[in-house]
Structure 1
Amino acid sequence: MRGKKKLAVTLGAAIAPILAVSLPSGSASAHGYINSPPSRQAQCAAGALPCGPIKYEPQSVEGPKGLKSCSGGNAAFAELDDDSKPWKVTPVSRTTSFNWRLTARHATSTWQYYVGGSKIAEFNDGGARPGETVTHQVNFGGLSGKQKVLAVWNVADTSNAFYACVDVNIS
């Protein structure tokens, strides 16, 4: 009996590090997303349409800096890139507030907003750590009609960024 106990302890000690590295991480590694106007991941979290795993972690759309996709290059969240889904389009004015909800407050270099691949706004935080919410006033200039806004939160001390797309109708 003593030998079996020792074998079990030895096997447990050998397997534990492998399990710790291979199991998926929970939402403790979460970060942030736009909740107003509702981003695609906010719509998923609210159950407005079926979206897969992003429903449970809308704050986790993280990928390398420089991407131009709603999913942040994350295959598990690829549905966010699907423009044919019935995303809610929010009516907005030429200057609109975008509100981020942050679940981890990383040091921030910049916040960027794109429409059609062109940067329309950038806010430089110079490495500051934001609070639980961040709001930016974005001016759409001469743009009007239905547009998809790609918002990017560039973290200052890593090579990653967080991504959110918002479908709007600019009046």
Structure 2
Amino acid sequence: MRAGNKWKAALGGAVLAPVVAVALPASSASAHGYVSSPPSRQAQCAEGIVSCGSIKWEPQSVEGPKGLKSCSGGNARFAELDDDSKGWVVTPVSSTTTFTWTLTARHATSTWQYFVGDRKIAEFNDHGRQPNATVTHQVNFGDLRGKQKVLAVWNIADTANAFYTCIDVNVG
């Protein structure tokens, strides 16, 4: 290619690059939140306690449509979070336990929900407020005892999505 043609090609690329960038769909942000204490499955992956796939690098990214009941939030990339036989560390807790969320992007929040199986054990309504970088909730397990898998859900106020995290506990 001659020098004149190289210059024209470079100029054409420089002109087209901004147009292509604007025309491409924006990807969703890869930072949001997860339960860090007691250590959720995502936290265990991030800390290398359990061997996991890409969730190790982005424990805060388990996002899916509201209303799901899966640890992966219906996200195939994080399906191993749904595998109960993976060797998750079970944390001993009391009948009333503090759950701490670590948020890397703070979204306006409708509710925080906690489930054991199909049973909702707690819900906290933030009425659309934007939370701090760390959020804690006191959750009472009621009559539940022994090994339990808690599904914690952060419902975002201004989108159709929620963030999902599972925590394996032994309620004493």
Shared fold (TM-score greater than 0.5)? yes
Query: In the TM superposition, what are the counterparts of 1:8-87 in structure 2 within 5 Å?
Result: 8-11=10-13, 13-14=15-16, 17=20, 21=24, 29-87=30-88
In 1, Cα distance between equivalents of 2:64 and 2:123: 19
Q: 1:5 is aligned with what amino acid?
A: W
In 2, Cα distance between equivalents of 1:88 and 1:76: 21
Question: Which residue pairs with 2:99 in the alignment?
Answer: 98
In 2, Cα distance between equivalents of 1:158 and 1:95: 31
| Gap change, CA 1:52 and 1:20, over 3 Å in 2 | farther
Question: Which residue pairs with 2:9 in the alignment?
Answer: 7
| Gap change, CA 1:69 and 1:104, over 3 Å in 2 | same
Q: Aligned-residue CA RMSD in angstroms?
A: 2.0
In 2, Cα distance between equivalents of 1:54 and 1:12: 36
Q: 1:119 is aligned with what amino acid?
A: K
Identity of aligned residues (%): 70
Secondary structure at the counterpart of residue 48 of structure 1: coil
Q: 1:109 is aligned with what amino acid?
A: S
Secondary structure at the counterpart of residue 137 of structure 1: strand
Secondary structure at the counterpart of residue 10 of structure 1: helix
| Gap change, CA 1:19 and 1:86, over 3 Å in 2 | farther
Computing the radius of gyration over CA atoms, which structure comes out larger, 1 or 2? 2
Secondary structure at the counterpart of residue 144 of structure 2: coil
- TM-superposed deviation, 1:8: 3.0
Aligned length, in residue pairs: 169
In 2, Cα distance between equivalents of 1:59 and 1:10: 40
In 1, Cα distance between equivalents of 2:156 and 2:27: 22
1:34-66 CA distances to partner (integer Å, 9 max, x unpaired)?
000000000000000110100000011111111
Question: Which residue pairs with 1:168 in the alignment?
Answer: 169
TM-score, normalised to structure 1, is 0.92
Question: Which residue pairs with 1:149 in the alignment?
Answer: 150
| Gap change, CA 1:91 and 1:65, over 3 Å in 2 | same
Preserved contact between residue 34 and residue 102 of structure 2 (Cα < 8 Å): yes
- TM-superposed deviation, 1:10: 1.9
Unaligned 5+ segments in structure 1 are none
Preserved contact between residue 30 and residue 58 of structure 2 (Cα < 8 Å): no
1:72-121 CA distances to partner (integer Å, 9 max, x unpaired)?
11111111000010000000111000000001110000000000121111
